[in-house]
Amino acid sequence: MKTFPQVALALLLAGTVASAQAGIKASAVHIGGISTVTPAPALVRLDAAGATTLSFTLPGAGKKILTFSAVCSVDAPTGDSLSWADLDIIVNGVVVAPTVGSDDAFCSANGTTGKNDFVRASITTPIQGLAGSNTIQIMARGNYQAAGIYLAYIALVVFD
């Protein structure tokens, strides 16, 4: 049977661990991002140096929360309000749900040609972190008749 001090110490350690793990694990903020003239998939720049991978370490494996937001626009022919940009959020080399595939529009064309009708779109999703090194990449692509996509003023935060 544990004594009072032993029980108290166990609770203390549990509380300390929980406290130490809370907060921001990684972040990237950049006024740029990506502006393409083709619908081809492209990795979004996450900092001013052009890095497309955000790397961070975790003391232990566990679920984290990832939020990505960006000003978004799609260039498509006049009259086309269907074309869209989709994102794949890639954590440790694996695309995370619900961003798998290309059917998940982050923003869409508005029927006028050119990049306009900008909106700050956002997604928050749970991700699985690994003990040790982790990486995040954001892949964007145009769909349907998209002639180009625009993502800028990006903000990426991983936290718990």
Partner 1 sequence: MTLRHATLALLLAGTAAAAHAGVKASAIRPGNFVALSPNEVLVPLNSAGATTLSFSLPSAGKKILTYSAECAVDALTGETGAWLQLDIYVNGVVVAPTSDTTDPFCSANGTAGFDGYVRASITVPVQGKSGGNTVQIKAKGGSNARGLWLGDAALVVYD
Which residues of this protein are in contact with partner 1, per CB under 8 A? 4-5, 8-9, 11-12, 15-16, 18-19, 22-24, 27, 29-31, 67, 69, 71, 110-112, 116-122, 124, 152-155, 157, 159
- Cα angle: 47, vertex 89, 115; to 5 degrees: 65
Shortest Cβ 73–partner 1 spacing (Å): 8
Shortest Cβ 98–partner 1 spacing (Å): 16
Closer CB to partner 1, 40 or 98, in the complex: 98
Closer CB to partner 1, 112 or 135, in the complex: 112
Max Cα distance, the chain (Å): 76
Which residue from 34, 50, 40, 137 is spatially nearest to 95, judged by alpha carbons?
Answer: 137
Distance (Å, whole) CA 153 – CA 33:
7
Distance (Å, whole) CA 147 – CA 151:
14
Shortest Cβ 58–partner 1 spacing (Å): 16
Shortest Cβ 144–partner 1 spacing (Å): 19
Length of the chain: 160
Contact assessment for residue 99 and residue 122, using Cβ atoms and an 8 Å cutoff:
no
Closer CB to partner 1, 144 or 153, in the complex: 153
Closer CB to partner 1, 12 or 61, in the complex: 12
